[in-house]
Amino acid sequence: MAEAMAIAGEAPRAVLRRVFGFPAFRGLQEEVVEHVVAGGDALVLMPTGGGKSVCYQVPALCRPGTAIVISPLIALMDDQVAALRQLGVAAGALHSDLDPEEQRRIGRELDAGHLDLVYVSPERLLSHGTMERLQRREISLLAIDEAHCVSQWGHEFRPEYRELACLPQRFPGVPRVALTATADPRTRADILHALDMGDARMFAASFHRPNLNIAAEPKAGETAQLLALLKRHAGDAGIVYCGSRNKTERIAAWLGGKGVSAVAFHAGLPAEEKRAAAARFRSGEPVVVVATIAFGMGIDRPDVRFVVHLDMPDSPEAYYQQIGRAGRDGDASETLLLYGGEDIARARYFLQSSAAPEAQKRAMRGRLEAMISLTETVECRTRALLACFGEELAGPCGHCDNCVAPVGTFDGSTEAQKVLSAVYRTGQRFGAMHVISVLMGKATDAILQRSHDTLPTFGVGADRSQGFWRGVIRQLIAKGALNVETGEFATLSLIMDRARPILRGEEKVMLRADAPVEKDRRRGSPD
Ligand code: ADP
Ligand code: ZN
């Protein structure tokens, strides 16, 4: 391995050019680097792709000693180490997946003071041998990557991260940099508290991605909606996220039948197929990857022109991360989220029946509800999304769906009452289709058999379309007044706490006037 390439006392900008080959720092990088080189602690909040690595890698080379980089993911560690070695930087990783020979070699390099950076998993760092070994060395800085893992509120809580609070005692006077792309104010506060970094300076980059055109639509035949989007993107690469493995395969096969070059990707596929799918995607060919959330980590293709969600993500953080895989090259890119009442109910149900500790469930519930509000909002969607991360966009973005085609609201109290009462009077044993038929006064077999045509609510909604009533039902689910039992049939029932005041006329229900789904929405362009 090459000798450590650090040149003591070299200026950050010179290191950036000489080692990394970048002409200049980007965004907040220079401020962070200078602060850390001078020995300060820092909390760095930057979106994925924002350039967090430079924030600790450059200081690592400017300060004497070895930098310890704590990272939760072995694959990412290996990628980073490989990239650094390519640049001639003396870097190594210590984790449980290394063969013993490689471990011994890294250990020797470390003991000899030949490593500029050592990547470790938190478990490994906290293990006796490793901690003592590192304490004997001169340490230039401690970088805590994916720092949101320390927060129970965060979506990737790792109990080992909590123990990193011991670092200031173990390495007194060594500057610490915590980095994350999860920036909601709650997580931020948790990180500073749990890592005992109250004096750290915070560097928060904007999460705004002006080249992303964000849109969401209620589901109205999801495959047709997907095809309409793909029509605008012939020859483009994109990602279609699905909520289940099964669905990725089904949709990929269906797209194949429509002449779209599509490939499924999920964690359950044989390793060979996963590799092949990822390789096709990386190769630059125009391919649509139909994937679960397992796809994306470490897959960096700059010209992804669209990201579609056929199922709603469970938090704004996950949503942001997934749509953020579009348009890394800065060119206009489109994102579309399809959502429906049943999905909302199912997500709530899964959460409720999860085995997670109660405090964590509460946090997950908070994020899920934030996600649901994001889908139903009539405000600028970009702005609403950024608000989830504590960032305030000065004005509406001008190019999200709600900006391009403003959506109105109306007092839907009467309509809500009609729906709730139809659900109640049919015995809370039927799905949306049946309830809508009752409202619209359709004498279907099912209705006649049960004499539902004699109910007072029969036909009270004949003046409205089926799509309209679907929208009301979905929004009542989103508002927590209706529940969907997802057994063999998706059965609607009332959630009394929320439904009663609406039925009694004590609560006004403002509803979103869903736009009829346009077939040919123009692709907006960034400002
Ligand atoms: P993050 O960890 O925040 O997701 P990375 O550190 O992986 O982001 O950086 C994202 C991309 O930006 C990488 O390809 C990196 O090489 C590039 N990059 C980072 N800083 C600069 C810079 N100052 N100039 C040019 N490219 C940069
Ligand atoms: Zn907008």
Coil, helix or strand for 291? Answer: strand
For residue 23, the ligand 1 atom closest to its alpha carbon is 24
The average pLDDT across 461-488 equals 90
Residue 522 has pLDDT above 50, yes or no: no
Ligand nearest to the CA of 398: 2
109 in helix, strand or coil? Answer: helix
Provide CB contacts within 8 A for 128, sequence distance 6+.
none
- The pLDDT tens digits for 16-42 are 999 999 999 999 999 999 999 999 999
Grade residue 5 by pLDDT with cuts at 50, 70 and 90. low
Nearest CA to ligand 1 atom 12: 51
pLDDT at 250: 97
403 alpha carbon, closest ligand? 2
Atom of ligand 1 nearest to the CA of 25: 23
CA 35 to CA 202: how far, in whole Å?
Answer: 11
Atom 16, ligand 1: residue with shortest CA distance? 51
Quote the pLDDT of residue 516: 55
Whether the per-residue pLDDT at 504 is higher than 50: the answer is yes
- Find, among 333, 337, 303, 341, the residue nearest to 319 by Cα: 337
Alpha helices in 47-199 (DSSP H): 52-62, 74-86, 100-111, 122-126, 128-135, 159-162, 167-170, 185-194
List phi, psi (to 5°) of 153.
-75, -30
Residue with tokens 């989220």: 337
Is the model's pLDDT at 508 over the cut of 80?
A: yes
Task: Report pLDDT digits (tens) over 298-357.
Answer: 677 999 999 999 999 999 989 998 999 999 899 999 999 999 998 898 899 989 898 888
pLDDT in tens, 415-439: 999 999 999 999 999 999 999 999 9
| Three-state secondary structure call for residue 353 | coil
What gap in Å lies between CA 240 and CA 336, rounded to an integer? Answer: 9
The distance of Cα 302 from the centroid of its chain, to the nearest Å, equals 18
pLDDT greater than 50 at residue 371: yes
pLDDT value for 185? 84
Percentages of the chain per state (helix, strand, coil), in multiples of 5: 45, 15, 40
- Residue 120: predicted pLDDT: 96
- For the CA of 402, the nearest ligand: 2
Q: Which ligand is nearest to the CA of 216?
A: 2
| Cα gap 74→98, rounded to integer Å | 10
How many angstroms does the Cα of residue 405 sit away from the middle of ligand 2?
10
- Tell me the one-letter amino acid at 29: Q
Give the model's confidence band at 361: pLDDT under 50 very low, under 70 low, under 90 confident, else very high: confident
Residue 339 to residue 257: CA distance in whole angstroms: 24
CA 287 from chain centre, in angstroms, equals 22
Residue nearest to atom 5 of ligand 1 (CA): 51
Joined together, the tokens standing for residue 409 give 């609201």
- Choose the residue to mutate in 32, 53, 325 for probing ligand 1, maximizing ligand atoms within 8 Å of C-beta: 53
Count CA within 13 A, CB hemisphere, residue 160: 14
Per-residue pLDDT, 356 = 85
According to the model, what pLDDT value does residue 298 have?
Answer: 64
Residues 68/120, Cβ–Cβ less than 8 Å: yes
Report how far ligand 1's centroid is from the alpha carbon of 486 (Å).
44
**For the residues 459-477, what does the mean pLDDT come to?**
94
Quick one: average pLDDT of 71-92? 92
Q: How far is the CA of 83 from the centre of ligand 1 (A)?
A: 12
Residue located nearest, by CA, to atom 27 of ligand 1 = 51
Protein residue closest via CA to atom 24 of ligand 1: 22
H or E element at residue 494: strand 490-494
**Percent of the chain topping pLDDT 70:** 95
CB atoms within 10 A of CB 267: 11
User: Given ligand 1 and candidates 18, 22, 73, 80, which is best to mutate, with the most ligand atoms within 8 Å of its CB?
Assistant: 22
Residue 165 CB-density burial (10 A; 0-12 exposed, 13-18 middle, 19+ buried): middle
Residue 197 has pLDDT above 50, yes or no: yes
pLDDT mean across residues, the chain: 91
Token pair for 339: 């959502």
Provide the token pair at 99.
Answer: 């063969």
Residue-level pLDDT at 520: 35
| Pocket perturbation via mutation, ligand 1, pick of 32, 54, 81, 145 by most ligand atoms within 8 A of CB | 54
pLDDT, one tens digit per residue, over 160-182 is 999 999 999 999 999 999 999 88
Q: Residue 9 — left, alpha, or beta (φ > 0 → left; ψ -120 to 50 → alpha)?
A: left
Residue 132 has what pLDDT? Answer: 93
Q: Which ligand is nearest to the CA of 16?
A: 1
Nearest CA to ligand 1 atom 19: 51
The pLDDT assigned to 8 comes to 67
396 Cα to the center of ligand 2, angstroms: 5
Does ipTM top 0.90?
yes
Residue 387 CA: which ligand is closest?
A: 2
DSSP SS3 for 64: coil
Pocket-forming residues, ligand 1, beta carbon under 6 Å: 22, 25-26, 29, 46, 48-54
Q: Are 305 and 237 in contact (CB under 8 A)?
A: yes
CB 488 within 8 A of CB 451: no
Nearest-10 crossing angle of helices 496-503, 413-425: 120
Query: How far from the centroid of its chain's Cα atoms is residue 69's Cα?
Result: 24
Residue with the nearest Cα to atom 17 of ligand 1?
51
| Token code pair at residue 483 | 């529940």
The DSSP symbol for 18 reads: I
Across residues 140-162, what is the average pLDDT? 89
Return phi, psi of residue 232, to 5°.
-75, -10
The answer for residues whose C-beta is within 8 angstroms of residue 208's C-beta and 6 or more apart is 382, 386, 391, 393, 397
pLDDT of res. 306: 98
What is the CA(298)–ligand 2 centre distance, in A?
A: 29
Which ligand 1 atom is nearest residue 20's CA? 16
Half-sphere exposure of 299 (CA within 13 A, CB side): 27
CA distance 281 to 301: 8
Q: Which atom of ligand 1 is nearest to the CA of 29?
A: 23
* Alpha helices for 353-380 (secondary structure H): 358-376
d(C-alpha 210, C-alpha 221), whole Å: 29
* Ramachandran angles phi, psi of 238, nearest 5°: -160, 170
pLDDT of residue 128: 75
Atom of ligand 1 nearest to the CA of 53: 6
Give the residue carrying structure tokens 């973005």: 397
How far is ligand 1, taken at its centre, from the CA of residue 26, in Å? Answer: 8
- For residue 318, the CA-to-ligand 2 centroid distance in Å is 20
Give the atom of ligand 1 at the shortest distance from the alpha carbon of 47. Answer: 3
Atom 20 (ligand 1): residue with closest C-alpha?
51
Nearest CA to ligand 1 atom 25: 22
Query: What are the DSSP E strand ranges found in 183-309?
Result: 201-204, 212-218, 237-241, 262-265, 288-291, 304-309
Q: 400 CA to middle of ligand 2, Å?
A: 4
Report how far ligand 2's centroid is from the alpha carbon of 213 (Å): 8
Atom in ligand 1 nearest the alpha carbon of residue 300: 14
Higher pLDDT, 500 or 4: 500
Least confident of 89-98, 393-402, 405-414, 478-487: 478-487
Q: What is the pLDDT of residues 121-142, one digit of tens each?
A: 999 999 878 999 999 999 999 9
Q: Name the closest-CA residue to atom 9, ligand 1.
A: 51
**Whether residue 441 has pLDDT greater than 80:** yes
pLDDT at 85 over 80: yes
Ligand 2 centroid from CA 27, angstroms: 23
* Nearest ligand to the C-alpha atom of residue 298: 1
DSSP 149: G
